[in-house]
C-alpha cells in the first residue's frame, strides 16, 4: 500500500492493521480536523497521517477513541511532524493526558530559516516544493458524513507534503547551523502545562476588564466566573455562550439582588435570566459573603521605571536589526517580556533567563547585557541602513 492509495479508517480492527504498518517508521506526518466554535473542548473529527509508504484518514467520529494509535503517538522512535501544532497538541493532550513526542513543527522550523513567522502550510509547500494546493475545502463541515472525495483529498494533502517539507527544512537548518535552535522550542511545546485548562476557580483571571476591579469586586467576579466555567464544562459549551465576559463585569458592578433587578441588566437576555438567574444570584451572594481576608488580589505589577522602559525600547530597536541580520523573526530571539525581565532582574537572576542561555545567549544575550550595563552603545550605519552595536573596548 502506498501514499497514493489512502486508507479510510473507521473501525478499530482496521486501525490495528494500520498501526502494525506504521511501527518502525522513523517519521509520521500528523494533522487533525476539528470543530470548536461552540464547544468547550475542541471536537476532533478526523486525524490525517502519512509516512513515505502509507497515507490514511482516521475517522475519529466513527472510531470513538484513539485505540492502538496511541502506541504510535507515544513511540519515542517515531518523530511526529506537524505544521502549526498547538491546537493539534491540545486535542491529543485532552484525549491522552500527554503530548505525542518527539515532535517537530514545520511552521516553527520555517521561521528559524528565514521563512517568516507563522507561515501558512500552503505557502510553505509552494515555496519549498513548488506545489500549489487547492483551498476549495477551507470552510468545509467536517462533522458531516460521509466525507466526500474532495474532502478526503484536501485533508490528505495536509500531510502528504509534510515529510518532504520536513526534509527540506532539515537540510536548511543543518546548512545554517541552526538545528540546536529548535531544542528549546520542542521542549516548550512538549510541556503538558502549556495545554492544561485553567482551574475554574482561577477563570476570573482571564476575564477582560478584571484588572480595573477592586478586590471586593474581584471576589464577586471569581464566583461568577467559576460558576460559568463549570457550567460550560458540564454542557460542553464555549463559556461565552453561557454568558459573555462584559456581562460578568457588569453584574459585579451593579450587584443585582433579585431576578427582577437581574432582568434590568442591559444586554442580559430574558432567556439567560430564566435559565441561569438563580445560579448568578447565588454566585454573587457567595462572593459578597466572603470576608476581606479571602478577597482575591491581582499579582503586583512590576512596573519598570521610565529609564528602564527607555532601555527596553533601545534593546528592541537593536533586536529588530539583529533579527534582520540573521533572518529570523525578532520574537524568537527575545520577546518584550524577556527584555523587561532582563532589565529588572538581579545579576544572579539574569543567568537563568531564557535569553541568557544556549544559542540565544551567544546570538543576542551577551550583547543585550552589554547594552544594559553601558558597555556597548548603538550607532546608525547610513550606508547599510541599520543599527549597529558598538563595543568601545573593541575599537582600536
DSSP string of 191-204, one letter each residue: -GGGTPPPPGGGGG
Q: What's the pLDDT score for residue 381?
A: 86
* 8 A C-beta contact, residue 185 and residue 358: no
Mapped onto helix, strand or coil, the DSSP state of residue 367 is: helix
| Banded pLDDT at 395 (limits 50, 70, 90) | low
Question: Which among 31, 59, 226, 367 is annotated as catalytic?
Answer: 31
Question: Which among 105, 158, 217, 231 is annotated as catalytic?
Answer: 158
Q: How many CB atoms lie within 10 A of CB 54?
A: 18
Q: Is 180 a catalytic residue?
A: no
* 8 A C-beta contact, residue 59 and residue 83: no
Q: Is 88 a catalytic residue?
A: yes
Range 215-244 average pLDDT: 96
User: Comparing 133-142, 168-177, 179-188, 238-247, which segment has the lowest mean pLDDT?
Assistant: 133-142
Q: How far apart are CA 120 and CA 278, in angstroms?
A: 47
pLDDT of 2 over the 50 cut: no
**Chain centre distance of CA 272:** 32
All 3 cell numbers of residue 337?
517580556
Q: What's the pLDDT score for residue 394?
A: 64
Range 174-186 average pLDDT: 94
Largest CA distance in the chain: 81
Range 74-102 average pLDDT: 97
Torsion of the alpha carbons at 161, 164, 168 and 169, rounded to the nearest 10? 60
Under CATH, which number does the domain 306-394 receive?
Answer: 1.10.150
Range 265-279 average pLDDT: 92
pLDDT of 140 over the 50 cut: yes
Question: Which among 45, 59, 75, 88 is annotated as catalytic?
Answer: 88
- Residue with grid cell 474581584, as numbered in its chain: 218
Cβ-based neighbours of 303, under 8 Å, separated by 6 or more: none
* 8 A C-beta contact, residue 185 and residue 105: yes
Range 337-360 average pLDDT: 90
Angle at 12 between CA 11 and CA 17, to 5 degrees: 100
Q: How far apart are CA 340 and CA 333, in angstroms?
A: 14
State the DSSP H helix or E strand holding residue 180, giving kind and residue range, or none if neither.
Answer: none
Distances (CA, A) of 281 to 33, 265, 284, 285, 358: 39, 13, 5, 6, 53
All 3 cell numbers of residue 184?
528549546
The model's pLDDT over 196-206, given as tens digits with 9 standing for 90+, comes to 999 999 999 99
- Range among 71-85, 144-158, 194-208 rated most confident: 71-85
Where do the CATH 1.10.150.80 domains begin and end in the chain?
200-294
Question: Which among 33, 59, 75, 231 is annotated as catalytic?
Answer: 33
Question: Which among 154, 195, 204, 332 is annotated as catalytic?
Answer: 154
pLDDT of 124 over the 90 cut: yes
Where do the CATH 3.30.420.10 domains begin and end in the chain?
7-194
pLDDT of 291 over the 70 cut: yes
| Banded pLDDT at 138 (limits 50, 70, 90) | confident
Range 364-391 average pLDDT: 89
Domain 7-194, classified CATH 3.30.420.10, yes or no: yes
More confident of the two residues 176 and 301: 176
Range 21-28 average pLDDT: 96
Range 72-98 average pLDDT: 97
Q: What's the pLDDT score for residue 388?
A: 87
* 8 A C-beta contact, residue 75 and residue 69: no
| Banded pLDDT at 3 (limits 50, 70, 90) | very low
Q: Is 31 a catalytic residue?
A: yes
| Banded pLDDT at 5 (limits 50, 70, 90) | low
Selected from 1.10.510.10, 1.10.10.10, 1.10.287.1080, 1.10.150.80, the CATH number assigned to the domain covering 200-294 reads 1.10.150.80
Q: Is 75 a catalytic residue?
A: no
Q: Is 184 a catalytic residue?
A: no
Mean pLDDT, all residues of the chain: 92
Amino acid at each position: 500500500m502506498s501514499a497514493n492509495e489512502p486508507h479510510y479508517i473507521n473501525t478499530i480492527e482496521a486501525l490495528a492493521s494500520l498501526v502494525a504498518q506504521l511501527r518502525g517508521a522513523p517519521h509520521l506526518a500528523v494533522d487533525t480536523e476539528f470543530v470548536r466554535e461552540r464547544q468547550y473542548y475542541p471536537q476532533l473529527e478526523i486525524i490525517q497521517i502519512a509516512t513515505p509508504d502509507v497515507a490514511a484518514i482516521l475517522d475519529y467520529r466513527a472510531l470513538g477513541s484513539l485505540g492502538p494509535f496511541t502506541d504510535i503517538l507515544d513511540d519515542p522512535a517515531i518523530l511526529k511532524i506537524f505544521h502549526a501544532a498547538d491546537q493539534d497538541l491540545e486535542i491529543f493532550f485532552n484525549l491522552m493526558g500527554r503530548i505525542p513526542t518527539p515532535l517537530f513543527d514545520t511552521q516553527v522550523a520555517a521561521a528559524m530559516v528565514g521563512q517568516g513567522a507563522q507561515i501558512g502550510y500552503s505557502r510553505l509547500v509552494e515555496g519549498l516544493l513548488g506545489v500549489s494546493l487547492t483551498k476549495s475545502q477551507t470552510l468545509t463541515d467536517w462533522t458531516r458524513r460521509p466525507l466526500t472525495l474532495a474532502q478526503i483529498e484536501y485533508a490528505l494533502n495536509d500531510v502528504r507534503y509534510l515529510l518532504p517539507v520536513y526534509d527540506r527544512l532539515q537540510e536548511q537548518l543543518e546548512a545554517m547551523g541552526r538545528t540546536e535552535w529548535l531544542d528549546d522550542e520542542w521542549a516548550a511545546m512538549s510541556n503538558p502545562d502549556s495545554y492544561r485548562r485553567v482551574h475554574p476557580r482561577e477563570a476570573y483571571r482571564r476575564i477582560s476588564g478584571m484588572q480595573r476591579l477592586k478586590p471586593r469586586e474581584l471576589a464577586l467576579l471569581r464566583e461568577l466566573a467559576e460558576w460559568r466555567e463549570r457550567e460550560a464544562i458540564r454542557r460542553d459549551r464555549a463559556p461565552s455562550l453561557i454568558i459573555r465576559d462584559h456581562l460578568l463585569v457588569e453584574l459585579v458592578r451593579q450587584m443585582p439582588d433579585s431576578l427582577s433587578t437581574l432582568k434590568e441588566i442591559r444586554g442580559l437576555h430574558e432567556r439567560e435570566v430564566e435559565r441561569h438567574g438563580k445560579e448568578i444570584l447565588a454566585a454573587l451572594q457567595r462572593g459578597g459573603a466572603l470576608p476581606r481576608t479571602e478577597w482575591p488580589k491581582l499579582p503586583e505589577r512590576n512596573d519598570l521605571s521610565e529609564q528602564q522602559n527607555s532601555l527596553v525600547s533601545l534593546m528592541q530597536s537593536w533586536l529588530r536589526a539583529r533579527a534582520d541580520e540573521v533572518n529570523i523573526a525578532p520574537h524568537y530571539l527575545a520577546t518584550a517580556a524577556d527584555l523587561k525581565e532582563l532589565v529588572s532582574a538581579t545579576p544572579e537572576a539574569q543567568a537563568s533567563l531564557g535569553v541568557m542561555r544556549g544559542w540565544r545567549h551567544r546570538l543576542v544575550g551577551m550583547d543585550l547585557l552589554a547594552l544594559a550595563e553601558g558597555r556597548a552603545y548603538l550607532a546608525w550605519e547610513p550606508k547599510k541602513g541599520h543599527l549597529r552595536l558598538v563595543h568601545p573596548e573593541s575599537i582600536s
